[in-house]
Amino acid sequence: MPRYIRYPRSYSTSRVSNVVTNPYTGEVKRVYGHSYEELNQNIEKQFARWETQRIRQENKLEVEQLAAKTEQLNLSLSKKLNILQSINKGKKYTQICYHTYYDGFLMHDDFQKYRPSNPPSLDRILNELNVPKVSRFMEFFSKKKLKFRLGKEAEAQQCFTERTKQYKEDEVRRKEKHIAEYQAFLSNLENHNEKIKKRESEFVSQQSGEVETVVDYFITQIVPIKIETKITFFDDVKQLLISIYLPPFESVPNVKEYKFIKTKKEIKTVMFNERQQNLLYENIILQIVLKISHDLFALLPFLESIIINGSTKTVDMSNGNEVNSCIISLETQKDSFKNINLALVDCKECIKGLKTHYKGKLQPVIPLNESKIGKRVNLKEPAPSSSPKLSALSDVIRQIKADFEQQEINADEAIQTVYWKDDYKEFVVFMQSSNKLMMADILELDIKQLKDAGFTTQSISKVVDVVIDWAEKCLNQGVEETNEDDGDTASDIASMFFR
């Protein structure tokens, strides 16, 4: 037989192989080829397949991560929008009361009880002095060892007696010190709790100062948005004046939702249009003022009325400075909320049924002036003087000048226009100067008479200027009596413009 069998080239079964490792997963695979050239080609193909698998896996992972991120963003956005849109639905005010507020300040007797230290131990002393243990067999043959052990035991016993005596003396001192510290703690606790109880009694007796503190606490609990407040309580009329610094317009979410575009592997942000964002912000501020009014009436039964002036910080585009602008002013009586289910009302419709100054679209309105509440100048009840009309108007002028000085506004530059307040049946002058808004009472006139006379904003401004000049002139000259024929009334002065 021949030594080697020769097969035709087409039936050759000889193959070469090599082991390759996936650099990404560590997978090991043997690659075959009928020649080294074919083997190298197959190895390249195998690495290409692994690379394709890696890219496909990375793309899949990236898509899953972006989809999960989109879901998380929408969840977070939905939660935030839900909080902002459901402020009126909160029932937390039913779970709080002034007792909860004051109880949080009370100190409790949590002083650590007296614990005696570990007393001396004879066994520990025996170990410290290396006292040998009893060995009857060895001590029977060696009296020296017995004597040594007994001597050590006597020394240990003496040491134990001394330490026990010292321990008792130390414990007496420690206990006396603990009692003194505990008594001081109890004294401090009683004094502190007495102050808290006094504050609580002041609140119960409706004393101004303490009422404002509790109201501020209530507002932080019932409104889920952090807002700054300035609160004044008028105990004579049981009225709250609350100035609220509303969250700025920029803090309202401008994102409607997030969409994941799989083909582009990107997250698209869907924005609110300007109208939707304005409606959302309007709904938020209306909810805040209604929620505060409703819940405070429920929490404070002694309240008769609440005035809320809501301001927001804006930028004056003429100079780039930040200014505070009052955009809503609401006055409510206790009876106003008796039949209102706040969780289901439409805020805009609800506001219309209440006494409010609100124009929408972040337009400034005239806030109720803190200095006028409870002490409004009434020109129908003039101050005692030889000339009642002049005396009453003099009081108004003094009050206006005081308001000017307080706000650091120049009276000559401040008056811009005049606004008629139907709810108070009086004119107020609307002033804007140095980026500040304020108001002041000028005089009472009959609205029908002014309408019949054809008053315009420009002509009313002239009337106001004349009235102020006339009143100041009278004050400076010390005039006490004026003749009716000389036109000492505001109506006579006004009539000169409409003859």
Tell me what the mean pLDDT of segment 286-294 comes to.
90
* Residue 399 confidence class, pLDDT cut points 50, 70, 90: low
The model's pTM is 0.60
Structural contact between residues 325 and 289, judged by C-beta atoms closer than 8 angstroms: no
Tell me what the mean pLDDT of segment 14-38 comes to.
88
The radius of gyration of the chain's CA atoms, rounded to the nearest angstrom, is: 44
Q: What is the pLDDT of residue 195?
A: 92
Q: What is the pLDDT of residue 461?
A: 52
Residue 177: count other Cβ atoms within 10 Å of its Cβ: 11
Q: What is the DSSP string of 165-233?
A: HHHHHHHHHHHHHHHHHHHHHHHHHHHHHHHHHHHHHHHHTT-TTHHHHHHHHHHHHH-SS--EEEEEE
202-206, 238-242, 371-375, 448-452: lowest mean pLDDT where? Answer: 371-375
Nearest CA to 388 out of 484, 300, 320, 305 is that of 484
Nearest CA to 132 out of 148, 108, 113 is that of 148
Q: What is the pLDDT of residue 400?
A: 54
Most confident range (mean pLDDT) of 15-29, 439-453, 473-487 is 15-29
Tokens of 211: 């009422």
Structural contact between residues 254 and 277, judged by C-beta atoms closer than 8 angstroms: yes
Q: What is the pLDDT of residue 465?
A: 59
Q: What is the pLDDT of residue 414?
A: 40
In angstroms, the CA 467 to CA 331 distance is 30
pLDDT > 80? residue 487: no
* Residue 343 confidence class, pLDDT cut points 50, 70, 90: confident
User: Which of residues 100 and 374 earns the better pLDDT score?
Assistant: 100
pLDDT > 60? residue 475: no
N residues, the chain: 499
3-class secondary-structure state, position 258: strand
* Residue 141 confidence class, pLDDT cut points 50, 70, 90: confident
Q: What does the buried/exposed string (b/e) look like for 88-108 if buried means 16 or more CB atoms within 10 Å of the residue's CB?
A: bebeebeeeebeebbeeeeee
Task: Fill in the DSSP letter of residue 121.
Answer: -
Q: What is the pLDDT of residue 194?
A: 93
Q: What is the pLDDT of residue 182?
A: 92
Average pLDDT, the chain: 74
User: Which of residues 399 and 161 earns the better pLDDT score?
Assistant: 161
pLDDT tens-place string over residues 325-341:
888 888 888 888 778 88
* Residue 362 confidence class, pLDDT cut points 50, 70, 90: low
- Alpha carbon distances (Å) from 59 to 24, 48, 216: 15, 16, 53
User: Which of residues 328 and 138 earns the better pLDDT score?
Assistant: 328
Tell me what the mean pLDDT of segment 309-332 comes to.
81
User: Which of residues 422 and 321 earns the better pLDDT score?
Assistant: 321
- What is the percent of the chain where pLDDT is above 70? 70
Rounded to 5 degrees, φ, ψ at 4 are: -120, 135
Strands across the sheet with 321-333, in order?
228-234, 239-245, 305-316, 321-333, 355-358
pLDDT tens-place string over residues 62-115:
999 999 999 999 999 999 998 888 888 877 777 888 888 898 889 888 888 888
Q: What is the pLDDT of residue 402?
A: 54
